[in-house]
Every structure is written in C-alpha cells, then in structure tokens.
Amino acid sequence: MPKRLFDLVIASLALLLLSPLLLGLALWIRLDSPGPALFRQERVGRHGKTFRIHKFRTMRADAAGLPLTVGTDARITRAGHWLRSRRLDELPQLIDVLKGDMSLVGPRPEVPRYVAHYPPALRAAVLSVRPGITDPASLAHLDEGALLARAADPERAYVEQVLPAKLAQQVAYAGRATLVSDLRILLRTLRLLASR
C-alpha cells in the first residue's frame, strides 16, 4: 500500500507540474508529422494482464514492422528522435500509473510477442509486481538500439541476448524491491535525464 500511495502522490504532482511541458510536446508532435500525439500499445502487466500503455508518438503514424527500435530507425520522426534521446516519450505513462496499470518503478512492460519467450519461472517472478516507467534493467540497457543495429538479425539478438539479461535484472529487482530502493532508482533516472 505505501508504494501505491507513493505512486499516486508523485504521479499526480508530476502530471500537474509538467502539464505545460506535456501540452507543448503534444503540440510539437502534431505539427512535426501527421497523426495523434499519443501512441498506445498492448503490453503485459502484473499477473499477465494486458493493458494499453501510453507514450508520446515518436514514429510515423503509418509505421509498421517489428516492435523494436534498431539504430537510426527510419520510422522515427524528427520530434521522435529528440524525445527518445531524452526519454521524454515515456512521460504519458504517468497516466498509466494513476490508472493502476503501472508503477513509477518496476520491470518495464513488454509486448506479448516477447513475453512469450520468458521462461516460466522468470515470467512468474517478473509479472508478480506492477511494471514501471523505469527500472535498473532499462537504465543498464540504454544503448540497446545501437547494439541491435550491429546484429545480423536484430530480433534474434534481442530475444537471445538482451532479453535474458534484462530478465535477470528484473527478477532481482522484484525479489528485493523496497520504497527506499525505488527512490534510489528514481533519483538515478532523474540524474540520467538531467545529463541528457
């Protein structure tokens, strides 16, 4: 309960304080390329329940292909490059935190296509907690797109190399997460954003 209360208070304050920025970014996205400002996608949440995640749209509205970003992906818009480099495309997930689908800190929610590759034991552990906007695994894999760009088969490299490493870190997080450790991860994330 303390974690949920913490999520509600911080997400509410953040949405209130950041509302001018969020509106400005939404307008820029709409002016930069045709399509909506927000992008919604099915992800797998706590206990395997699917939900629709909110993000700022960073790709062309008609973009198709793998749910992976590889290097300088041609599908990404000009505004999208800037938003992704600063992780600002994730800010609308504060809405998902308020709804209860996500937490501020927790394993990043994956699309069903890749959750199907989770070994059963690890799947149970990772999905035992609410997914989050940030977590140690996502902070450790900021260069994921560049790594996949060097692979002959990016999706295979993701499933066989990146995903197992992320899962190990997410299981470790789920097994020892506390409000104090979440605060540390949030501070690390904010320092990273500030440095960018």
Q: How many domains does the chain have?
A: 1
104-136 pLDDT, tens digit each? 999 999 999 999 999 998 999 999 999 999 999
Q: What are the helix (H) ranges across the chain?
A: 2-32, 78-85, 93-99, 112-115, 120-126, 136-140, 144-149, 154-157, 163-176, 179-195
What pTM was estimated for this model as a whole?
A: 0.92
Q: Note down the domain range covering 136.
A: 2-195
23-45 pLDDT, tens digit each? 999 999 999 999 999 999 999 99
Interior angle at CA 173, CA 142 and CA 100, nearest 5: 90
